[in-house]
Amino acid sequence: MFEVRDDEADVESIMARIRDTLNRKGANGGKSEEEVSIDASQRATQRVGSRMVDHDLDRLRTLEMLDYFQDPKPQGPIAARHGLAMAAAKRLIRKIRGPYHRAIFARQAEFNTHLVRLMEDLLLPLPSVPAASGGIPSNARPRRPKLTVAVPYPVSPPLTGGQLRISSLCRSIARAFNVELITLAGPRSTLLEQEVTPGVTEVQVPKALRHQEEEDLIAESTRGVPIAGVAIPLLFRHSLLYLGYLSRSVRTADVVLASYPYCLPAIRKYLDTQPLIYNAHNVEYLLYKELFSRSGCSRSDLLEIVWQTEAEACRSSALILACSMEDKANLCRIYSIEPSKVLVVPNGVDSQAVRFASFRERDRAKAEFGLAGQQIALFVGSWHPPNLEAAESIFDMARGLPQVRFILAGGQCIPLGSRSRPRNVGLMGIVDDETLTALLAVADVALNPMTSGSGTNHKIAMYLAAGAPVITTPHGARGYDLIDGEQALICPAEEFPGRIAQMVHDRALAERVARNGRRLVEERYDWSINGEEVAHALVSLLERRTSDVGTSRS
């Protein structure tokens, strides 16, 4: 076990201690040194779906940056001021990748084989499944209805807020439906069909190379604002393999859900009389209006596409799932829809899967990692403009709090790696579940200094569930019924330094806030509660449709 000799330990050494301790625990089957000495043969169960951490951060940042250039993701923009540099880098990379592209075109025959086989699947009747010996005949078993979910990016593994919302909703809905996710992946991806969890299957379909190239051209004029989703209505016609799998899924579905509005033009090509559900992660028009304004992007035509697709999603859907009452009010106001059509489904967590660390356990965790006496503030965020702005504000407040070690984790660390930052700010990078659990367990305070963005912040529910005392801006708290001083400290970003000092030195306050926050998540923001409400709403919607069809036929 490490011994801390210097109360002003460098933040990089703190992160190294956390990594090294987790590595040693992993080598010892997840046990501490004391536990290993008692039972060296016992192994900890490895969490399903975890992604290993690449501790070579420079290599990780390079790979992630290249992957972003080749396959832009909705959660992965470069800050607006780097937009021109990004465009130049993309042009260079396309030049370098020319031979690679020619090799891809040489695989056209393989693509055609996939497409022909898919069309045959669409035309041939589904074979009957024989009943198991001694079981109930297959034709006597009640058929579970099918829900098709169209998403503009892969959902597994769920690392970002959007992915977490979709995967959590689907797990909950799978209690009553067979769920099939049709997701659009990068052109370098492999066609993949996998069972994510019982009752939930994801088909990741690579977009066509021409789709990606035209998307890259559009992105050169958006000054770093992510447009992978926004461009789908313009470019989906190129991705024939994706359309084939979407067609097959939609035509055999009882209910269809569009997660984000951008896949709707493709969905409508194959939608018949099935109810359409719109899962609104944000108010997309307001989000992109803000992003374009802040970045100086003048592509009003793209903003018009956002408005048109979101308007169509709201008006043609039988039910809208909004993240907050604020989003519900804005959707109703902008698109003139009835409030009764919108169900507020706040972002939450599976509280049983998030380990709550009491303050006694936090003391033990700090001692185990060699961090006793250290003051640690944590901020978790994906590669998304509002998160990058929040991170910049943390850089500013860190300069006035040299005694506090600020650790940032998540995809935000990739673009932040090239920026100047105080010595007491460390970038942990993209982390796996075990590392994130450890960071939450040693944090004296969890920060959310958000001042922009739509929807709600998943990180709030995660912080609360883990028992990390939360300090958030009012904007960061949107969608959650938090009371200042009860479940969190809520204040403008400029007041964070004083509130951080208050939380770190007032243990009674921190313990009260942590306990109340966990209780609030269990009672109001657990997916077992909110997801069940969505499942009931979909079942009721399907029953009404069946009843209406029967009445019209009679």
The pairing of beta strand 192-197 with beta strand 200-206: antiparallel
Residues 106 and 232 in one domain: yes
Task: Report the pLDDT averaged over residues 413-427.
Answer: 91
Classify residue 49 as left (phi > 0), alpha (psi -120 to 50) or beta. left
Residue 127 in any domain: the answer is no
What span, in angstroms and rounded, lies between the C-alpha atoms of 451 and 492?
Answer: 9
Same domain? For 372 and 328 the reply is no
> CA 110 to CA 107: how far, in whole Å?
5
133 vs 196, more confident: 196
Question: How does pLDDT run across 202-236, given as a tens digit for each residue?
Answer: 999 999 999 999 999 999 999 888 899 999 999 99
Same domain, yes or no: 195 and 246: yes
The pLDDT of residue 217: 95
- The alpha carbons of the chain give a radius of gyration, in whole angstroms, of 24
pLDDT, residue 545, reads: 79
Least confident stretch, 71-85, 303-317, 371-385: 71-85
Amino acid 432: pLDDT: 86
138, part of any domain: no
- Residue 8: band (very low, low, confident or very high) from pLDDT cuts 50, 70, 90: very low
Q: Based on the fold, state whether residues 94 and 219 are members of the same structural domain.
A: yes
Structural domain including 174 reads 84-120+144-344
Separation of first and last alpha carbons in the chain: 76
Q: Is residue 401 part of a domain?
A: yes
Mean pLDDT of 407-435: 91
- Kindly state whether residues 464 and 485 are assigned to the same domain: yes
In this predicted structure, the answer to whether residue 440 has a pLDDT above a threshold of 60 is yes
The number of helix segments (H) and strand segments (E) in the chain equals: 22, 14
Looking at the chain, the whole-number percentage of residues with pLDDT higher than 70 is 76
Mean pLDDT of 171-178: 93
**Which stretch of 84-98, 107-121, 152-166, 497-511 has the lowest confidence by average pLDDT?**
107-121
Residues 283 and 402 in one domain: no
Question: Structurally, how many domains does the chain consist of?
Answer: 2
Read off the pLDDT band of 479 (50, 70, 90).
confident
Residue 488 DSSP SS3: strand
Q: Is the pLDDT of residue 358 over 80?
A: yes
Whether residue 430 is found in the same domain as residue 297: no
The pLDDT, as a whole number, for residue 23 is: 79
Residues 412 and 497 in one domain: yes
148 lies in the same domain as 261? yes
- pLDDT at residue number 113: 53
Beta strands in 327-422 (DSSP E): 342-344, 375-380, 404-409
* CATH value at residue 163: 3.40.50.2000
Which pLDDT belongs to residue 90?
Answer: 60
- 403 and 318 in a single domain? The answer is no
Domain boundary among 344, 365, 385: 344
315, 344, 373 - which closes a domain: 344
Tally of CB atoms within 10 A around 394: 22
Handedness of CA 254, 257, 261, 263 (dihedral sign): negative
Does residue 212 belong to any structural domain of this protein? yes
* 273 in a structural domain: yes
Q: Is the per-residue pLDDT at 81 higher than 70?
A: no
Please check whether residue 442 is in contact with residue 18, taking contact to mean a CB–CB distance below 8 angstroms. yes
Q: Which two tokens stand for residue 468?
A: 């990390």
- Residue 47 inside a domain? The answer is no
